Structure 1
């Protein structure tokens, strides 16, 4: 059943979050007030937590910046800063890819960073999904090693999201496969993928029947959640379903409520997080973030909101931030979250 967005009637709890736009504008949430000087925030490629990733094409480097604090770390670019590792890796519960690894990691200028994970504890280890929408791999690097490492013996996949959970790196495909990546080190500074295991085989076989987006989020209670967003087209969201990863039984289990203590989910294609929300639990805050995806066409109208919320109990929508003038691009609007270990609303 399709639910049309409506204006919110209930007062939202204040959450420690920001909304970032590709043109550099930054707003606090939920009051949606402009935040700081936005001149240096324009043109980001990816986001994670309170980090934004930018490209410096002149020097073939990537700049990882915290716009809320000004901290910056340099990472290698994607032209000459990628190394394909030919060492065999363990592939579990999935057929090993056939064929040989390409001599050059990419064959098109469309290759880019699709998803970024900055591991907890600063910026010592970074993971990324690199490639194109339907054709991507997991890459690893450290600022000290200054090279992106990808495995020539892992397959190219259509990834929707990636998350660090319980000490492991997980990735979610469009088919709803959940994969775990073990990380080793080729030397003291270069991280490598040493093992890939398909933990859950997804139920989706035919991707042409419906349009879906997926988000991977760690619940405050410790569970790994998959959020499925059902969309008949790029401008309409019919609803959300939330599934918990039963890692022991290798299956997705649908849940109709979030953490009993009061939890809300902020989901976005570039960055997602669970927050403590005693007054607004069981809500999913989401964005108009389909820019750059293959199913968004120029003739499709944009939805009337930039930020909206879905109530899992009432199955209703609320528009929280009306659409700002925005052109389709390759990078969507994203959430940013200050470095707050409690992930608690204020």
Structure 2
């Protein structure tokens, strides 16, 4: 009994500490635990842990942890406007001259991109089609800082190998890298881009091939959909599959296709690209298994869900980023969690989390996926 009373917290067995860590999916909680003492810090790095909870950027430059609703404040460039993200890298436009950069939110590593024509980022329209921009990289930028980065927006596809960038005029709904190759979606048509390098060493797109036909049938949603819908499409790589996620937003037919603040997401359809046939086919997907999808115009990603993460499996997490006017009291707007099994949409945050206060700002809603390299 005397020896038990004299034991310190630093003597906690590593396997017990690991069990505690597995139930702490929040980055802030893991950092606090590791800061207790050196043994805890070293023992916490022995076993792989579930992924950290995703974050959502808010308009005022803060971050919202999903689904626990914790507000995180991280130093970011004061004069830069966040226009998108890829994993835990943020894309900033610094001025009207087109100076742009990528910054790792945690290591603060920065990759500069040559000046871009960003007139498409400065439009006055508050609707989604004037401000669409999406970044993708074939490899994690931490391990491959010289990797290609694809940036789509304003009817242009930009292939960047920082600091070099080249443009291609082309309308796309979304882009993603899949098995090391760049794919683009226009309506239901999937295209693949062949990328090589010119004599000057600049990356360039040598050819574009359409490789899919239209879906052979539609999903029958569990819940009835409005007669008039705005359709948004996302490309997401999920466990070795390339998925097209179609989001249906109920609209007022008198002002179609522009959404209003009052419009709400009604449902989703998910299709997998079968590239084994010519042309490729879109196959209906009715469940995601243990995965969850986080979709958005500026970042989409699959996430291994489970009891330890707090993220629900077989669900689609979404946020309103198609309407860029000043939100009302609720900065989350048309955000939520869509259950693939029953078609029910729940709030984005857990029942115990408070909805963040609207403080305005000029940031854009985008997903951030923290890494546990601490």
The 3 A distance-change label for structure 1 pair 140 and 239 is: same
Which of the pair has more CA radius of gyration?
2
Q: Which residue of 1 aligns with 2:183?
A: 170
The 3 A distance-change label for structure 1 pair 68 and 107 is: closer
Contact 1:217 1:225 (8 Å CA) reproduced? yes
The Cα RMSD (Å) is: 3.4
Q: Which residue of 2 aligns with 1:130?
A: 153
Residues 1:194 and 2:206 are matched in the alignment: yes
| Consecutive unaligned residues in structure 1, runs of 5 or more | 1-12, 81-105, 342-346
Which of the numbers 136, 142, 153 marks the counterpart of 2:161?
Answer: 142
Matches within 5 A, 1:1-346: 15-38=52-75, 40=77, 43-57=81-95, 60-79=98-117, 110=123, 114-122=133-141, 123-124=145-146, 125-131=148-154, 136-143=155-162, 146-151=163-168, 156-157=170-171, 159-173=172-186, 175-187=187-199, 189-202=201-214, 210-220=229-239, 222-233=240-251, 234=259, 235-249=263-277, 250-259=280-289, 262-279=290-307, 280-292=312-324, 305=333, 307-321=335-349, 322=355, 324-325=357-358, 332-339=364-371
Contact 1:290 1:332 (8 Å CA) reproduced? no
Contact 1:288 1:332 (8 Å CA) reproduced? no
Which of the two has greater strand per residue? 1
The 3 A distance-change label for structure 1 pair 192 and 59 is: same
Contact 1:78 1:112 (8 Å CA) reproduced? no
Which of the two has greater helix per residue? 2
Q: Which residue of 2 aligns with 1:89?
A: none
TM-score of the superposed pair, with normalisation by structure 2: 0.66
| Consecutive unaligned residues in structure 2, runs of 5 or more | 1-24, 27-51, 124-129, 217-226, 252-258, 350-354
The 3 A distance-change label for structure 1 pair 113 and 230 is: closer
The 3 A distance-change label for structure 1 pair 196 and 301 is: farther
What is the CA distance between 1:252 and its match in structure 2? 0.9
- Size of the aligned set, in residue pairs, is 284
Q: Which residue of 2 aligns with 1:100?
A: none
TM-score of the superposed pair, with normalisation by structure 1: 0.71
Contact 1:24 1:43 (8 Å CA) reproduced? no
